[in-house]
């Protein structure tokens, strides 16, 4: 249970460092990372590169910066990105592909944030000066707005084949990549193999306070490094933050299975409540979307009602809510949250 007795299911970004992680932060060996002299940052970067089976990796302040530096490093202004219409890079990163890289996005559709190799092939622009140049395919794994859905390795490999045929680069927004790995048993390197760059986040389910990383070839990560500086992401004694990420990789990956079980438990319980529409089988990791029938109330009103009783849930559409399980939410918290929702619904 959260330390203030509030059960916060709005996002896995709300996690707070454990006592042990705080100790690792306090004890971290540090240096000036802009000079490349922070030993803890360097160890983290080497670890991420090895974990992804890439030549290099770079520690950055946020998942958005990880994605946007990777995009900028692999495109030129006027290029076009192929991505799902529900992608994080479009909805939640402040218009950055357009503003920072000068790129347009060609949107694909598909259930759960997934699309096919055939769709990618159809979306590639012909070589004509009238059109933007198709340059990059972005895949989000797991997919946030899709409900924490997981991409299959086969689907990714098929898209890689199309990308190679058309000379495209590929980037994976792997903010919740570790959730996909724990759920499937595949390694990060298994997923990263088909991508030129991969981002991953330490401050969501892994529970670190700050930070993401981008992995790829030395040449591309060299460009990512330049754009990190350009976008204002150069940090000095960042080893304290990197130490939290190292601790998270050491201690908080396998336990993501508990979050997945809690999400399924929550979805199953709510699916039994009249007026609540939940696709339990679609809950693959730690994200649950719930639709409220119009005779219940609006999502905002319902979230206000349960929030007043100590359960925080996010309204994402007029009659849709999102709940995300994480390190700070136990099975007992899930059961209490369900009890509060039942009481609120019956009131």
Q: Set out the domains of the chain in order of their start, with CATH numbers.
A: 7-14+255-346 (3.90.1150.10), 31-251 (3.40.640.10)
The pLDDT of 65-89, averaged and rounded, is 98
Q: What percent of the chain has pLDDT over 90?
A: 95
Q: What is the pTM of this model?
A: 0.95
The pLDDT of 82-106, averaged and rounded, is 97
Specify the pLDDT at position 1: 38
State how far the Cα of 236 lies from the Cα of 248, in Å rounded to an integer.
21
Mean pLDDT estimate for the chain: 96
For residue 347, pLDDT beyond 80: no
State how far the Cα of 114 lies from the Cα of 345, in Å rounded to an integer.
33
Q: What is the pLDDT of residues 186-213, one digit of tens each?
A: 999 999 999 999 999 999 999 999 999 9
Q: For 132, what's the count of Cα atoms within 13 Å in the CB-facing half-sphere?
A: 19
Cis status, amide bond into 36, omega within 30 of 0: no
For residue 283, pLDDT beyond 90: yes
The residues pairing with 37 across neighbouring beta strands, listed in sequence order, are: none
Q: What percent of the chain has pLDDT over 70?
A: 98
| Band of pLDDT at residue 345, cut at 50, 70 and 90 | confident
Specify the pLDDT at position 4: 61
Say which residue the tokens 């759960």 belong to: 112
The pLDDT of 151-176, averaged and rounded, is 98
Specify the pLDDT at position 2: 43
| Band of pLDDT at residue 296, cut at 50, 70 and 90 | confident
Q: What is the pLDDT of residues 208-256, one digit of tens each?
A: 999 999 999 999 999 999 999 999 999 999 999 999 999 999 999 999 9
Contacts of 16 (CB under 8 A, 6+ apart): 3, 207, 209, 328
């Amino acid at each position: 249970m959260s330390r203030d007795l509030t059960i916060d299911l709005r996002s896995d970004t709300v996690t707070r460092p454990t006592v042990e992680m705080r100790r690792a932060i306090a004890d971290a060996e540090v240096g000036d990372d802009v000079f490349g002299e922070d030993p803890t940052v360097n160890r983290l970067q080497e670890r991420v590169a090895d974990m992804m089976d890439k030549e290099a990796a770079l520690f950055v302040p946020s998942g958005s910066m990880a994605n946007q530096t990777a995009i900028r490093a692999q495109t030129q202004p006027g290029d076009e990105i192929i991505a799902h219409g529900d992608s994080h890079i479009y909805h939640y990163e402040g218009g950055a592909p357009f503003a920072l890289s000068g790129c347009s996005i060609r949107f694909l559709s598909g259930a759960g944030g997934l699309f096919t190799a055939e769709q990618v092939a159809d979306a590639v622009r012909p070589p004509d000066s009238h059109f933007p140049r198709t340059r990059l395919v972005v895949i989000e794994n797991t997919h946030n707005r899709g409900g924490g859905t997981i991409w299959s390795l086969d689907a990714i490999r098929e898209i890689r084949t199309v990308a190679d045929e058309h000379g495209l680069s590929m980037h994976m927004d792997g903010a919740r990549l570790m959730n996909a790995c724990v759920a499937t048993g595949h390694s990060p390197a298994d997923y990263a193999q088909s991508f030129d760059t991969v981002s991953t986040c330490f401050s969501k389910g892994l529970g670190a306070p700050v930070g993401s990383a981008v992995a790829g070839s030395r040449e591309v990560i060299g460009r990512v490094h330049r754009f990190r500086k350009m976008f204002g992401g150069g940090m000095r004694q960042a080893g304290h933050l990197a130490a939290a990420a190292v601790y998270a990789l050491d201690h908080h990956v396998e336990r993501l299975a508990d979050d997945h079980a809690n999400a399924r438990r929550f979805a199953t319980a709510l699916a039994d409540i009249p007026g609540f529409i939940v696709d339990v089988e679609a809950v693959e990791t730690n994200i649950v979307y719930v639709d409220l029938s119009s005779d219940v109330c609006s999502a905002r009103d319902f979230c206000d009602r349960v929030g007043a009783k100590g359960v925080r849930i996010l309204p994402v559409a007029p009659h849709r809510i999102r709940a995300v399980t994480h390190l700070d939410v136990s099975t007992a918290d899930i059961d209490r949250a369900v009890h509060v929702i039942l009481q609120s619904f019956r009131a």
